[in-house]
Chain A
C-alpha cells in the first residue's frame, strides 16, 4: 500500500526518444542521424529499448524491478503548445474543475487532510494540485515553524486549547505536526542508504522531500518540477546535464527512502515528447508521444505498453511518435495502489480507463 505519491514533471516536453531510445528500431537511427543514441552506448533494457547512458544511476532500480518505463505516452492534446498540453495533462481533462491530484486528494482518496498532505516543492503550486483540500508550496524548511518564539508560543497555545470542547484534539494534532516540522533542519539531515544528493535544485528538493516524508507529517502528494526540456537547439548540451540530474537525483532519493520506497509511488511525466526527425540545428521540435517512468512500491518493472513504431505510416501529424498510451492509464495503477480508495470517475471524469498492468 502506498502512502505518498511523488510527481516529477519534466517541463518543456522531454524527448522520450533520447531518455529511452528505441535502439532496436532502424527507423529511429534513420530519423536521427546525428542525435540517435547508439545501441552500444545505451544501457540495454529489453532489447528493443535502452536507457540513455546519462541515466545510468537508474539502471540499478530497473534491474531491481522497481522501475517501469512506458514509451509512447501522452494526452489527447494535439496543439503541441506547452501551455495547453501541460494544462490538459495536469487538469486531467479539458473542461474539468481542479487538477487530477487535487480531485484525487479531495474526493478520490481517503486523505487524512493533514497540514502538509499536499506539497509542491518549488515556487508555485502546479495546476495538478488545484482544488486540493489544502496545498502548500515549500521552498525551504525555514518558515515552516512558528517563528522566533515557536517553543513558548506552542506551549502557551497548548494550555489555552487543552480543554477546548471543539478544538482540543485538533490542537494536539497541530502541535504534533509543528513539533515535527520544527525538528526539520536541512543542515542536520543525514540521508540513509548511502544516498548522495547533488547540489542542484532538483537534488536539494528531493532531499527535502525525503526528509519531510520521513518526518511523518502525513505527506500524501508531493510535486516537483524539473524544467528545461524544450530542446529545439543543440539538444545534447541541454539534455545531458538534465538527465544526469534526473537520474542521480531519483537514484539518491530511492536509496535514501530505503524500505519506505515500498510505500511511495513516483511518477515522472512531461507534457509531450518531441518530433522524431531532428531539425537542422541539432534539436527537436514539439511532438506527441513521450516517455513516463513509474518507480516505487508495487511497481511491475520493465518496459510496458504498446510501441507504435517510427515507420512513416505510424507517425502522427508532422512526424511525431504516436500516443499509444494515455497518461491516465499509466497513472491509474499507481493511484489504485494507494491506501485510499481510488474513484477513477472523480479523478479522471469523462475518461474510460484502461489501466496498464504496471
Chain B
C-alpha cells in the first residue's frame, strides 16, 4: 500500500513536471499535447448565408462551437442540409459510434482521473482539481462527441457538486465518470440512482449523515429536499415539507466509508440506521420494513411523477430551444420523457424534432455561458491549447470555474446572470487573438488562408456572412489578429 502510494506520488510529480514542460514549449505545436495540431492545413468551407443557416445553428446550439471543417463533415451526412442535420443528431446521440482519438490522446496524462473513488484519495486535492478542470476543458475542445459533452455539462449543473466541500475534493472526480458521463445519454432513472448513491453526492448534500439510529432521531433533510426541488419534481412540482421529511426517512442509513480506514469511499446501507417505518411519498405508500429497497421505491415514485417529466423537459428545452420555451414544446417533450420512462436519448430527439428548434427566430438568441464561450473561441480558431491555468483563470474571472459552484442549483443558465462578464470575454478575445495566453496558440494567417480569405474567415467565426458593420469594423482594425479579436469579442459570437 505504502509502495503504491509512493509510486503514485512519483507519477503525479512526473505529470506535473510534464505539464511544466508542455507550457514552456507551448509556443510551438508539440507532439505531446499537440494532438489537435494534426497539422490542420486543409481548406474548409465557411457558411454562405446572410443569416445563420440551419447547419450553423445546430453547430452553435448543440456543440461547444464549430471548428473549421465541422460544417463540411456534417453536410456530408445527408443529401440536403435538413437530412444531414438529422443524421448528425442521430450520430451525436450515439457517441460510442463516433471515433474520438484526439481527446483520448490528450487525456492520456490524466489517467489517474479515471480511478475509482477510493483510489483518488491518494492525490493532493489541488493537483486533482487542476488536472480535472484541464481534462474537462480539453474534452470540450477536442471531442467529436460534442452533444455528449454538452449533456455532461448540463447534468453536471443539474446534479451540481461543489468540489470544495469536504471529501468532494476527491469524490467529485469519480462522480464525473461514474455518474454524469456514464449516464449522460442513458436513462434518467439510472442517472438519478447513480447520483443518489454517489459518494460525492452523499458528502455534498449530507446523505452520509442522514441516519435514524434511535427513536427520536430526526433525519437530515438536505439531500431529500434537493432531490425533490432540483433533481426531480422541481420547486413548484407540488411536493410538501411532509414529502421532504418522508423522502429523507426513506433514505436514512445510506452512508459512505470515510477517508481513513478500510474500504474508503465505499457506499453502504446500514440497516440499523434506517428508519424502517411506513412512509407516504407524494401520496404513495411505502409499507414498513422496506429497508434498503426504500431507496429505489422513493426514486421510482419521484421519477414517474408528472412534474419530473415537465421539470426535465423544461430544462432541456431551455438549453436547446430558448430561454423561455413555449408551453407546447415543454409538454410534448415531457410526454416523450414519460412515454419512454425517462430515456434521455429519446427525450432529446423530441426536443430536436420540435418546430421551434428550426425556427429562424431562435437562432443566435441565447447567450453563451462563459465555459461555452471560452471553448467555442478555442474551437473556432483551431487553437492548440494545454488548457492550463492561464486559460482557466479567464473562466474564474468570468465566474464559471468548473466544479466550483457552491450551491446545489448549479451555474445559472439564464442570460441575465452572465451579461456582466463582457469585460473578461473581450479580454479573452484580444489575448487569444494576439497569442498572449501562455500555453495556447492560434494561427490567424493560416485560418484565413484555409477559409479562403477575410470574408470566409469572418463567416466561419460568425456562422453567417458578416454584416456591413462587422466588415467595416474588421477593416478599421486591419483584419488579422486584431480583426480576429474583434470577431471573438463581437455580440454575434457571444450567442449560440
A153 is an interface residue with CB less than 8 A from chain B: yes
Chain A proximity of B57: nearest CB distance (Å): 17
The residue that A91 contacts in the complex, of B164, B415, B420, B422, with Cβ under 8 A, is: B164
Number of A-B contacts (CB under 8 A): 126
Query: Would you call A167 and B469 a contact (CB within 8 A)?
Result: no
Chain B residues whose C-beta falls within 8 Å of the C-beta of A169 in the assembled complex: 419
Residues in chain B near residue A282, CB distance under 8 A: none
**Could you say which of A115, A131, A143, A170 contacts B164, with CB atoms under 8 Å apart?**
A131
Report whether B397 and A135 are in contact in the complex, using a CB–CB cutoff of 8 Å.
Answer: yes
> In the bound complex, what is the Cα–Cα distance between A153 and B485 (angstroms)?
8
Q: Is A171 an interface residue when CB atoms closer than 8 A count as contact?
A: yes
Find the A residue at minimum CB distance from B393. Answer: A137
- Do residues A97 and B431 form an inter-chain contact, with CB atoms below 8 A? no
Q: What is the CB-to-nearest-CB distance from A335 to chain B, in angstroms, rounded to a whole number? A: 17
B404 within 8 A of A: yes
**B:469-496 near A, CB below 8 Å:** 469-470, 473, 476-477, 482, 485-486, 489-491, 494
B residues 379-423 with Cβ under 8 Å of A? Answer: 393, 396-399, 404-407, 415, 419-423
Is A174 within 8 A of B422, CB to CB?
yes
Contacting pair A153 B486 (CB below 8 A): yes
Q: In the complex the two chains form, is A161's CB within 8 Å of B491's CB?
A: yes
Chain B residues, Cβ within 8 Å of A152: 476-477, 482
- Asked if A134 and B421 make an inter-chain contact with CB atoms under 8 angstroms apart, the answer reads yes
User: Is B123's CB within 8 Å of the partner chain A?
Assistant: no
Q: Is the CB of A134 within 8 A of B491?
A: no
Instruction: Determine whether the beta carbon of A97 is less than 8 Å from that of B489.
Output: no
Separation of A94 and B397 alpha carbons in the complex (Å)? 25
| Total interface residues in chain B, CB < 8 Å | 41
Contacts of B404 in A (CB 8 A): 98, 130-131
Q: Do B490 and A132 touch across chains, with their CB atoms under 8 A apart? A: no
Given the complex of chains A and B, what is the CA–CA distance between A156 and B477 in angstroms? Answer: 8
Chain A positions 100 through 143: 1 when the CB is less than 8 Å from some CB of chain B, otherwise 0: 00110011000001110000000001010011111111000001
Q: Report chain A residues within 8 Å CB of B165.
A: 95-97
Residue A159 at the chain B interface, CB threshold 8 Å: yes
Q: Is A255 an interface residue (CB 8 A)?
A: no
Whether the pair A160, B407 counts as a contact (CB closer than 8 A) is: no
Q: Does A178 interact with chain B (Cβ within 8 Å)?
A: yes
Interface positions of A from 30 to 76, Cβ below 8 Å from B: none
Task: Looking at the assembled complex, report how far the CB atom of A32 sits from the nearest CB atom of chain B, in whole angstroms.
Answer: 36
Could you tell me the distance between the alpha carbons of A153 and B491 in the complex, rounded to whole angstroms? 13
**Contact between B423 and A131, CB atoms less than 8 A apart:** no
Contact B424–A170 (Cβ < 8 Å): no
Select which of B407, B426, B486 is within 8 A of A107 by beta carbon. Answer: B407
* Residue A166 is within 8 A (CB to CB) of chain B in the complex: yes
Determine whether A200 belongs to the interface, using a CB cutoff of 8 Å to chain B: no
Q: Please give me the residue from chain A that is nearest to B476 by CB atom.
A: A156
Q: Give the dominant DSSP class at B's interface.
A: helix
Residue in B closest to A156 when the chains form the complex, CB atoms: B473
CB pair A97–B204 under 8 Å, yes or no, is yes
Q: Which residues of B contact A148 (CB under 8 A)?
A: 434
Contact partner of B166 among A94, A156, A164, CB < 8 A?
A: A94
A98 to B491, CA, bound (A): 32
B125 closest partner in A (C-beta): A87
Task: State the Cβ distance, B409 to closest chain A Cβ, in Å.
Answer: 11
Contact check, B407 vs A97: say whether CB atoms are below 8 A apart. yes
Q: Is the CB of B396 within 8 A of A113?
A: no
Is B430 interfacial (CB 8 A cutoff)? Answer: yes
Question: Residue B162 at the A interface, CB < 8 A?
Answer: yes
A320 to chain B, nearest CB (A): 25
Beta-carbon contact of B420 and A98 below 8 Å: no
In the complex, A125→B401 CA distance in Å? 12
- For A156, what are the chain B residues with a Cβ–Cβ distance below 8 Å? 473, 476-477, 486
Chain A contacts for B393, CB-based, 8 A? 136-137
A167 to B367, CA, bound (A): 9
A157 touches B406 (CB 8 A): no
Within the complex, the shortest CB–CB distance from A128 to chain B, in Å, comes to: 11
| B397 and A136 contacting across the interface, CB-CB below 8 Å | yes
**Cα(A205)–Cα(B308), bound, Å:** 52
Contact A160 B470 (CB under 8 A): yes
- Is B166 a contact of A157 with CB atoms below 8 Å? no
B420 touches A115 (CB 8 A): yes
Contacting pair B423 A178 (CB below 8 A): yes
**Which chain A residue shows the least CB distance to B203?**
A95
CB of A329 to closest CB in B, whole Å: 22
Is A312 interfacial (CB-CB < 8 Å)?
Answer: no
| A327 nearest CB across to chain B (Å) | 19
CB contacts (< 8 Å) of A149 on chain B: these are 430, 477, 482, 485
How far does the alpha carbon of A94 sit from the alpha carbon of B419 in the complex, in Å? 33
Contacts A159-B469, A160-B490, A171-B422 given; indicate if A147 touches B430 (C-beta within 8 A): yes
Cα A184 to Cα B485 with chains together (Å): 22
Asked if A177 is at the interface (CB within 8 A of a chain B CB), the reply is: yes
Which chain B residues (417-459) contact chain A, with CB distance < 8 Å? Answer: 419-424, 426-427, 430-431, 434, 436
Please tell me which one of the listed residues A95, A130, A170 contacts residue B419 in the complex, with CB atoms under 8 A apart.
A170
Within 8 A of B (CB), among A138-194: 143-144, 146-150, 152-153, 156-157, 159-161, 164, 166-167, 169-171, 173-174, 177-178
In the complex, are the beta carbons of A166 and B424 less than 8 A apart? Answer: no
CA gap between A326 and B393 in the complex, in Å: 33
Q: Which of A130, A144, A153 contacts B477 (CB 8 A)?
A: A153
Known: A134-B399, A146-B427. A114 touches B166 (CB 8 A): no
Residues of chain B within 8 A (CB-CB) of A115 are: 397, 420-421, 423-424
Q: Tell me the complex Cα distance, A102–B485, Å.
A: 31
- Complex-state Cα separation, A166 to B430, whole angstroms: 22
| A147 x B399 contact (CB < 8 A) | no
**Closest chain A CB from B484 CB (angstroms):** 11
Asked if residues A114 and B420 are in contact (CB atoms below 8 Å), the reply is: yes
Q: Give me 13 A-to-B residue pairs in the complex whose CB atoms sit less than 8 angstroms apart, sorted by A's number.
A: A95-B166, A113-B399, A130-B164, A132-B399, A134-B421, A136-B396, A137-B393, A143-B431, A147-B436, A147-B485, A167-B422, A167-B491, A173-B420
Q: Which 10 A-B pairs have the closest CB atoms?
A: A134-B399, A97-B162, A98-B406, A115-B423, A174-B422, A131-B406, A156-B473, A97-B406, A95-B166, A170-B419
A-B contact sample (17 more), CB < 8 A, given A156-B486, A173-B420: A97-B406, A102-B406, A130-B164, A130-B404, A131-B162, A131-B405, A143-B431, A144-B427, A146-B426, A148-B434, A149-B482, A150-B430, A153-B489, A160-B469, A160-B470, A161-B491, A173-B422
